[in-house]
């Protein structure tokens, strides 16, 4: 193995010859080549491991794979939840429509019921009025003076009379001695017309109603 000789400095006052300059540069280049070769041999001889084969890399890779698998699982579950939610929303929307339809029908029934109740109330009022008028213009058994006790007009038995019914129209003030008209109908619903100045007598005939 050759030994590199140290470079001899050139005196400042002595100019360097071309031969000496060439020799100096040769020594510099040779030293640089030797150093590069030595460094390259050392680097080439080093045994550098593959980072992908390290335990840390393998553990990290397994963790990453597990995370991605968990992510895919959660994503699938989320999609199922979204699908179920959309289906439930559709069911709720249909139920809302059904409720609206029922509410509309109930409103229509309420309107009809209110109309029917109003009609019944009007009829009851009319019937009540008729009943009041009938009550005011009704005559039962007894002797009644026309113009004082009862109104003049035609009266009819409210219900069918029995065979023992008797009625009479009398001249007022005669104490029943002056009979204008009388009858024993024996059944049916007889009618009697009375005028002012007369008395009306009814015996076992029930109620008479002015027509």
Enumerate residues 6+ apart whose C-beta is below 8 A from 136: none
Q: Around 116, how many Cα atoms within 13 Å sit in the side-chain half-sphere?
A: 6
CA 62 remoteness from chain centre: 52
Q: pLDDT tens digits for the chain (211 residues)?
A: 445 455 455 555 556 666 666 666 566 666 555 555 555 544 444 567 778 788 888 888 888 898 999 999 998 989 989 989 898 988 998 998 988 899 888 888 888 888 888 888 888 777 767 778 778 899 999 999 999 999 999 999 999 999 999 999 999 999 889 999 999 999 999 999 999 999 999 999 999 999 9
Query: Please, are residues 182 and 169 in contact by the beta-carbon 8 Å criterion?
Result: yes
Enumerate residues 6+ apart whose C-beta is below 8 A from 137: 150, 151, 209, 210
Q: What is the pTM of this model?
A: 0.42
CA 160 remoteness from chain centre: 61
* Start-to-end CA span in the chain (Å): 161
């Amino acid at each position: 193995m050759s030994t590199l000789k140290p470079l001899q400095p050139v005196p400042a006052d002595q100019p360097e010859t071309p031969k000496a300059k060439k020799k100096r540069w040769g020594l510099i280049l040779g030293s640089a080549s030797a150093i590069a070769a030595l460094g390259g041999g050392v680097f080439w001889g080093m045994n550098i491991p593959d980072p992908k084969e390290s335990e840390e890399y393998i553990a990290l890779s397994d963790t990453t794979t597990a995370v991605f698998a968990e992510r895919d699982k959660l994503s699938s579950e989320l999609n199922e939840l979204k699908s179920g939610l959309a289906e439930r929303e559709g069911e709720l929307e249909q139920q809302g429509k059904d409720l609206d339809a029922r509410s509309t029908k109930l409103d229509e029934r309420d309107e009809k019921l209110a109309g029917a109740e109003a009609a019944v109330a009007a009829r009851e009022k009319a019937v009540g009025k008729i009943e009041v008028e009938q009550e005011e213009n009704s005559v039962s058994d007894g002797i009644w003076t026309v113009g004082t006790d009862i109104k003049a007009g035609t009266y009819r038995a409210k219900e069918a009379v029995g065979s023992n019914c008797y009625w009479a129209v009398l001249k007022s003030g005669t104490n029943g001695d002056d009979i204008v008209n009388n009858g024993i109908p024996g059944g049916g619903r007889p009618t009697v017309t009375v005028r002012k100045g007369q008395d009306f007598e009814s015996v076992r005939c029930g109620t008479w109603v002015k027509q």
